[in-house]
Amino acid sequence: MRFTLKQIEYFVAAAESGSITTASRLVHISQPSISAAIAHLEDVFQIPLFIRHHALGLSLTAEGQVFLREARVLLQQAQDLDAAGTTIAERIDGLLEVGCMTTLYPLVVPDLIQTFEARHPGARLKVVAGHHGELIEKLRNGDIAAFLAYDLNIPADLEFEPLATLPPFAFVSASHRLAKRRTVALAELASDPFLLLDLPLSRDYFLMLFSQAGLTPQVAGRFQSIDVVRSLVARGVGYSLANARPRNRAALDGRPLSYLALKGAHRELKYGTARIAGLRRTPRTAAFLSLCGEILANRPLPGTD
């Protein structure tokens, strides 16, 4: 554009007041700035806008009167746009897309969706399940606004806000020799067949627990589904480790499981929200993050012990 809204505003003030001096007071700008804006508009459009009367102020030319009508319309449209932008910025509606780690998804997502959409009837929450690397890529590409993550390998360009800690635990079949116990040392299980949840970060974390304890697990199988792992453990194929303790102590086929807390000091997982560091939060994103803090922070995961 060859002119600015400020220049139009200065022109309208001068036209309506009939005086550079009065216009200067109305818009709180110097008289030379008013004069320069008018001169610029006349130069750009090659039309005379005012007749200057020495010591008597200004009067509009015929062209200036037409220009004033259009200038008023433009300023009103700009004000309407400003008001609309403010309304849009403050409104919580429309679609918000976020992500969640696969292992947390069935536990936290139903509560988040139901509560978020109940509070904001005009909004819809879509939650994408994925692994750490997948969700980071989606976040960087702008496909999601935030995601629920573990505090493992968080890149420097992401901002992680912890919500709660998840200590590791072991689970075995109801017929396992240790099933009646409440706690177990990792060394007591190390010689048994270990069924590893073979997901990015998860496998490294669980294997690290053994390494830090000076143990080597007898890995009997690697699986990318926690439900498959739970079903095989319930059948007595081996034992496994996890961090989220579902209240339902049974596999999907109904076979029972026994949970055992790990003795000793082990690296706990923290889970929380991850988003691009320094990025301005939209009202929808801010509402989602606030809800996560309200229903998840320093509390057991929904549906867990």
269-290: pLDDT as tens digits: 999 999 999 998 888 999 999 9
190-237: pLDDT as tens digits: 999 999 999 988 999 999 999 999 999 999 999 999 999 999 999 999
117-153: pLDDT as tens digits: 999 998 999 999 999 999 999 999 999 999 999 999 9
Q: What is the pLDDT of residue 82?
A: 86
58-103: pLDDT as tens digits: 999 999 999 999 999 999 999 989 888 877 767 788 899 999 999 9
Q: What is the pLDDT of residue 302?
A: 87
What percent helix, strand, coil does the chain show, rounded to 5?
40, 25, 35
CA distances from 53 to 12, 18, 29 (A): 18, 10, 22
Residue 275 has phi, psi (to 5 degrees) of: -150, 170
27-38: pLDDT as tens digits: 999 999 999 999
Q: What is the pLDDT of residue 57?
A: 84
Give residue for tokens 């606004």: 145
Give the whole-angstrom CA distance, residue 257 versus residue 172: 6
Amino acid at 26: L
Section 44-53 average pLDDT = 93
Q: For the chain, which domains are there?
A: 5-90 (1.10.10.10), 94-165+269-298 (3.40.190.10), 168-262 (3.40.190.10)
Give the H or E element holding residue 163: strand 158-166
Q: What is the pLDDT of residue 210?
A: 97
- Which of 108, 93, 101, 99 shows the shortest CA–CA distance to 139? 99
Section 42-63 average pLDDT = 90
pTM: 0.70
CA distances from 100 to 116, 206, 221, 269 (A): 15, 20, 25, 15
The structure tokens listed for 277 are: 């560091």
Average pLDDT, the chain: 94
Amino acid at 214: G
CA–CA–CA angle 199, 200, 202 (5° rounding): 65
CB neighbourhood size of 2 (10 A): 9
